[in-house]
């Protein structure tokens, strides 16, 4: 137990150093206090409208809502657990040291699982802890049960996430398992968002209600799935039900013990998996033939091949598009005239314009910032302008090949919005791509999508503002407003700033 306490203390110290690596501790604490106070101020206003609505004792039907909350958050918790399990296995870089120490692998693994559970607790706490605060503000302390429920959910999610990660390592090897786990963690959030948009694709909430109506009778009082059924006992911990709280905490403890007992040997074996990963054999007769291909074509093939070899980077780019799928669906298949004064088609054209800019930014960041052979390209018998042109085309061709057909289709539903999309989306993509070429930098590919400036911070900020300005410009142009000149001026000023600082 003493070794476990020391390892957990070290985990806390490492996480604190990560938080304060680029920010002073005093600044971080001040920001935390401001955010905490602001959130609770908002919750106080919300609680005022809930007084008299939620009163003790709480109706038993609320257990069904609690079960729905847990079921919805569980996949997100597992995805977070997978993400942090990847860090625990591959990115920390201290497993060799711990493996040679007198501390047993069971203790080391237990500390990692608990640390992952703590990370899941923080992530899911953004959704569940406000419920406990509201319970205190409205005088319903039973809602404090969200805390033990969250703790149990975090432990189970972390255990399942570690299990999936180690299973991927066993099946695919460490290199592929790391990429696969990162892709799963990245795409799970997008899938949850897509699931939340099902009513938009199925005709609205009324259609969903019609589909689930035959099942509703099974949840009536007295039925097998009724609110008083023992099946919902673990979810009653959300309301501090004594037996339900004890049950869910005991189950979480049992899952944690079973995970550590059954998987610690696989974890110990995983210490050397990175070095023992199977390597591809190169054929001796392989030859590189350039034939009659031009240098530009060779450079394009090289860039796209490198991107396709990295599924994690692809998932990060695709992740940005998933959140715009409902917007694209409404633009292409909805009757925009039914939205009346909302002018939905111009708004969706603006959203897709912003999407074109953000995706182009990601692709050109991979090509320019993630370049791992800059010295080789500099020594190659091609001009720097040709290399830059190839990197720009790598980002522009995929985006324009999708945006242009969508814009042409949009012309058939709303002429002004289609024209705005056809003009502003490619211009936005070209602007951000050119700005990144002016602002080159070098970084590891795993750091490309971290929230930090890459290269000159002023130019990076200007690059960020261009899509945000061109989106409203597309909306105003589609509606025929003269105010379109204002966001266009902001975008032009951003481009000018990036050009001046190149």
DSSP string, 57-98: SPPTTHHHHHHHHHHHHHHHHHHHHHHHHHIIIIIS--HHHH
Sign of CA pseudo-dihedral 397, 402, 403, 404: positive
Q: 352 and 327 in contact (C-beta within 8 Å)? A: yes
DSSP sequence for 173-209: -HHHHHHHHHHHHHHHHHHHHHHHTHHHHHTSHHHHH
Look at residues 397, 398, 389, 353 and name the one whose alpha carbon lies nearest to residue 368: 389
Sign of CA pseudo-dihedral 181, 185, 190, 195: positive
Longest dimension (CA), the chain: 80
Residues of the chain with confidence (pLDDT) below 70:
18-19, 21-23, 52-58, 91-96, 99-100, 173-175, 177-179, 182, 185-226, 269-293, 311-312, 315-316, 318-343, 445-454
The CA-atom distances, in angstroms, between 348 and each of 65, 164, 187, 238, 324 are 33, 38, 23, 39, 9
The DSSP call for residue 340 is G
Q: 111 and 89 in contact (C-beta within 8 Å)? A: no
For the entire predicted model, the pTM comes to 0.63
Could you tell me the two tokens for 401?
A: 């090949």
Look at residues 111, 79, 102 and name the one whose alpha carbon lies nearest to residue 14: 111
Could you tell me the two tokens for 406?
A: 């969508």
Q: 169 and 297 in contact (C-beta within 8 Å)? A: no
């Amino acid at each position: 137990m003493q070794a476990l306490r020391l390892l957990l203390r070290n985990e806390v110290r490492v996480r604190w150093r990560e938080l304060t690596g680029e920010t002073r501790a005093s600044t971080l604490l001040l920001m935390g206090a401001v955010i905490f106070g602001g959130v609770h101020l908002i919750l106080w206003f919300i609680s005022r409208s809930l007084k008299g609505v939620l009163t003790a004792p709480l109706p038993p039907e609320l257990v069904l809502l609690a079960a729905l909350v847990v079921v919805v958050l569980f996949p997100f918790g597992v995805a977070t657990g997978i993400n942090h399990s990847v860090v625990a296995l591959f990115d920390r870089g201290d497993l060799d040291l711990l493996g040679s120490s007198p501390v047993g692998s069971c203790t080391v693994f237990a500390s990692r699982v608990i640390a992952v559970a703590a990370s899941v607790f923080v992530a899911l706490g953004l959704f569940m802890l406000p419920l406990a605060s509201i319970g205190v503000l409205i005088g319903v302390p039973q809602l404090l049960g969200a805390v033990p429920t969250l703790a149990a959910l975090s432990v189970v999610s972390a255990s399942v996430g570690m299990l999936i990660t180690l299973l991927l390592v066993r099946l695919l090897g460490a290199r592929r398992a790391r990429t696969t786990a990162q892709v799963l963690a990245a795409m799970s959030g997008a899938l949850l968002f897509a699931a939340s948009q099902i009513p938009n694709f199925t005709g609205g909430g009324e259609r969903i209600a019609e589909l689930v109506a035959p099942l509703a009778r099974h949840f009536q009082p007295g039925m097998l799935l009724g609110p008083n059924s023992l099946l919902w006992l673990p979810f009653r911990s959300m309301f501090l039900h004594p037996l339900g709280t004890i049950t869910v905490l005991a189950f979480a403890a049992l899952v944690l013990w079973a995970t550590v007992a059954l998987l610690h040997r696989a974890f110990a074996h995983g210490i050397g998996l990175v070095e023992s990963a199977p390597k591809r054999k190169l054929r001796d007769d392989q030859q590189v033939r350039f034939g009659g291909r031009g240098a530009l074509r060779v450079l394009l093939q090289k860039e796209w091949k490198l991107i396709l070899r990295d599924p994690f980077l692809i998932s990060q780019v695709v992740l940005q598009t998933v959140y715009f799928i409902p917007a694209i669906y409404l633009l292409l298949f909805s009757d925009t005239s039914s939205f009346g004064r909302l002018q939905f088609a111009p708004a969706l054209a603006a959203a897709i314009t912003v999407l074109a800019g953000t995706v182009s930014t990601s692709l050109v960041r991979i090509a320019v910032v993630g370049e791992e052979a800059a010295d080789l390209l500099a020594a190659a018998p091609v001009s720097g302008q040709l290399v830059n042109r190839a990197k720009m085309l790598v980002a522009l061709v995929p985006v324009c090949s999708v945006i242009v057909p969508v814009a042409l289709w949009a012309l058939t539903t709303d002429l002004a919005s289609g024209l705005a999309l056809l003009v502003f989306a490619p211009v936005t993509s070209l602007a951000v791509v050119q700005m990144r070429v002016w602002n080159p930098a070098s970084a590891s590919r795993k750091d490309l999508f971290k929230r930090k400036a890459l290269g000159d911070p002023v130019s990076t900020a200007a690059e960020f503002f261009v899509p945000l300005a061109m989106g409203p410009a597309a909306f105003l142009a589609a509606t025929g407003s003269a105010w379109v000149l204002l966001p266009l001026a902001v975008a032009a000023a951003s481009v000018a700033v990036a050009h001046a600082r190149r």
